[in-house]
Amino acid sequence: MKLNGTMQVNTAGHLEIGGCDTVELAREFGTPLYVLDEACFRQNCRDYYRFFTHKYGAEVVYAGKALLNLAVCRMVDEEGLGLDVVSGGELYTALKAGFPAEKIYFHGNNKSPAELGMALRAGIGIIVVDNMCELELLDGIACDLGIKADIILRLTPGVEAHTHEYIKTGQVDSKFGLVIENGQALAGVKKTLEKSGITLRGFHCHIGSQIFELSPYFDAAEIMMSFIQLVYEKTGYLAKTLNLGGGLGVYYVKGDKPRQIQEYAEVVMSAVLRKVKEYGIPAPKVVVEPGRSISGPAGSTLYTVGAVKEIPGIRKYIAVDGGMGDNPRPALYQSRYEACLANKANQMAGETVSIAGKCCESGDMLIWDAELPVAAPGDILAVSCTGAYNYSMSMNYNRLPRPAMALAGGGRAELINRRESYGDLIKNDIIPGRLAFKSDSK
Ligand code: LLP
């Protein structure tokens, strides 16, 4: 397993994160446990800030869909980043954490009237309008409130990033955004400029996620800049903001070759600045929205090994106390992960095993064919790079409570999400009167 962030093996031969012995963390907080490496999370924020904001004056907006809770909001704010939210729930979390409303971008392809009203009343920075229905709805709500909504329009530049089919969003046939290629986007801009409840600040695109190549970013930036120029020529409107989305890939398994944040910044900014020069227009404020590349490598999940089962001549299964409930990515996207035995971190690999989750699904397999030291019930398995789209996509299938999350740094670990209890699982269940126990109705 590749050691991310502050990970190291301590003198006891245990995996350590943020100066904390993960075997101790498992004992103290129980398993499954998400562990967030504070220094790693903050360093990733700082790299983005340094290479985009400090160097180019660009704005970095952390995509909360990757991982969001109150503590994460606090760290993102402390590191000087903005926040991208995609639902009333994420917005609520940010506001409750005291995140500055004006630094929030609100995304989503089907925001409800209630969500739009909530965003406007909270005074959030920018609403990223996805389609014409939303434009009409937002204009109406803003006019009713007697305010003007600052928006950018989401466009599809037609760039296909080389990534998993399910998470490709920059192409023309997408549920997101207005298509540039067929004139829909230009028509949308003209319509937007007529709205009395709306101020158009610029444009947005997002070409996909877990992207290793930088050329799609270069192409998307150029296409978006050409669109800005086209709009300027056709309408006299000059966009002030160009949001190029997120998507930078991270290392999960051997063979993954993620690009550095610095290289990514240089590619994106060079494409924008080249076009600025070519068209002789003022440079728009560039915005990027990284999620995975900030939180992904900062997260790990600890499990306790339970049943070990060998099918002679076929395979050895090792079952852990979590699985697709806390990490649905292998089941959804065939995503691959690396793992180690946290309590045997300095032992050599001794066998090839497949790690099974505990859900009632054959597809609940976390890792196929992992090379690990010989495992026994009670060992602690650590899976790396689970900081993005794990907790945020977790679920209660089979009524498994969601794990706790601990923030580890400087040798100290504190809970930032409590473990769900069985009580939490039934807290919204209701027994209607006609199903009450007879003794209840007496
Ligand atoms: N901006 C927009 C508009 C997005 O839709 C996304 C991700 C991001 C930014 C952040 O992208 P990132 O830097 O995290 O790649 N559940 C999938 C990933 C879905 C990505 C959705 N949008 C997965 O687990 O791989």
Q: Is the pLDDT of residue 164 over 90?
A: no
- Both structure tokens of 361: 């699904």
Q: Is the pLDDT of residue 259 over 90?
A: yes
Predicted pLDDT of residue 97: 98
Predicted pLDDT of residue 262: 98
Predicted pLDDT of residue 43: 98
Which whole number is the average pLDDT over 245-264?
Answer: 97
pTM of the predicted structure, to 2 decimals: 0.96
Which whole number is the average pLDDT over 212-232?
Answer: 95
CB-ligand 1 contact for 209 (6 Å cutoff): yes
Do 147 and 129 contact (CB within 8 A), yes or no? no
Ligand 1 atom having least distance to the Cα of 107: 3
Do 118 and 174 contact (CB within 8 A), yes or no? no
Alpha carbon nearest to ligand 1 atom 1, residue: 245
Which whole number is the average pLDDT over 230-239?
Answer: 98
Predicted pLDDT of residue 168: 39
On average, the pLDDT of the chain sits at: 95
360 is catalytic: yes
Predicted pLDDT of residue 425: 98
Residue 188, SS3? helix
Distance from Cα 290 to the centre of ligand 1, integer Å: 8
Distance set, CA 442 to CA 120, 430, 434, 436, 437 (Å): 50, 19, 13, 10, 9
pLDDT in tens, 348-381: 999 999 999 999 999 999 999 999 999 999 999 9
Residue 404, φ and ψ in degrees, nearest 5: -85, 165
CB-ligand 1 contact for 142 (6 Å cutoff): no
Q: Is the pLDDT of residue 167 over 50?
A: no
Ligand 1 atom having least distance to the Cα of 293: 13
Alpha carbon nearest to ligand 1 atom 23, residue: 389
Predicted pLDDT of residue 170: 52
CB-ligand 1 contact for 293 (6 Å cutoff): yes
Q: Is the pLDDT of residue 337 over 90?
A: yes
Predicted pLDDT of residue 162: 61
Which pairing describes strands 315-320 and 299-311: parallel, antiparallel, or unpaired?
A: antiparallel
Contacts 24+ apart (CB under 8 A), 165-172: 166/332, 166/333, 167/208, 167/209, 167/210, 167/333, 168/207, 168/208, 169/206, 169/207, 169/208, 169/209, 170/205, 170/206, 170/207, 170/208, 170/216, 170/220, 170/245
| CA–CA dist 101, 30 (Å, integer) | 35
Ligand 1 atom having least distance to the Cα of 332: 24
Give one DSSP letter per residue of 50-93, joined into a string.
IIIIIHH--EEEEETTSS--HHHHHHHHHTT-EEEE-SHHHHHH
Q: Is the pLDDT of residue 198 over 60?
A: yes
Contacts 24+ apart (CB under 8 A), 187-196: 188/132, 188/135, 188/153, 189/153, 189/231, 189/235, 189/237, 190/235, 191/132, 191/135, 192/129, 192/135, 192/151, 192/153, 193/235, 193/237, 195/135, 195/139, 196/139, 196/143, 196/148
Q: Is the pLDDT of residue 331 over 60?
A: yes
Among 45, 165, 169, 289, the mutation site with the greatest number of ligand 1 atoms within 8 A of its Cβ is 289
CB-ligand 1 contact for 329 (6 Å cutoff): yes
pLDDT in tens, 261-312: 999 999 999 999 999 999 999 999 999 999 999 999 999 999 999 999 999 9
| CA–CA dist 26, 9 (Å, integer) | 16
